[in-house]
Amino acid sequence: MAQLPARLRLARWPRVRAGRGVVLGSGVRFDVAPATEVVLGDDCLLGECTRVVVRGGRVQLGPAVAIGERVTIVAHAGVTIGAGALLEAGAVIVDFNHVFDDVEQPIRLQPLQCAAVVVGAGARIGFGASILAGVCVGDRATVGPHAVVTADVPAGVAVEGVPARPTLD
């Protein structure tokens, strides 16, 4: 993983702003619509083949956020990831879902329901976990591998499973 050489790699993405010490792995992709933006805090690390798609709102990563390989973030309302949070390889964050009320109409032609996602400072999102629309993962919370988070996770709580539930100690 190579350090950004004088922001040259980000020059092709004018709606991506990066702080100092940001590291992008090879194959990182940004797809940022007009009137939206991505903000990368100081010392953020984005692993190889990570993809950030912004159709609405803003994706904001706090300082020292570490994102593993092949992570996908898709925003229509907005995604905020707090300082020092970790998203392990293959994690997915989406802030929208398709409406499917009309069984006669293809889902792709029905409207979207969008709600911002927040991942708190120091939170850890496990390998292959999914965070869905409207969820807030609290500070220092832990989401287990391959969990599907459909409801808020309080600060400091560990969850796992499909759908994600607090772990039994």
**pLDDT value for 8:** 47
**pLDDT value for 99:** 83
Four-residue CA torsion sign, 5, 19, 66, 46: negative
Residue ranges per domain, the chain? 9-166
Query: What is the CA 136 to chain-centroid distance, rounded?
Result: 12
pLDDT tens-digit map of 52-109: 999 999 999 999 999 999 999 999 999 999 999 999 999 999 999 988 888 898 888 8
- Mean pLDDT, the chain, rounded, equals 91
**pLDDT value for 108:** 84
Label the pairing between strands 148-149 and 51-54. Answer: unpaired
Question: Of 13-22, 126-135, 159-168, which gets the smallest average pLDDT?
Answer: 13-22
CATH of domain 9-166: 2.160.10.10
The answer to whether the beta carbons of residues 70 and 49 sit under 8 Å apart is: yes
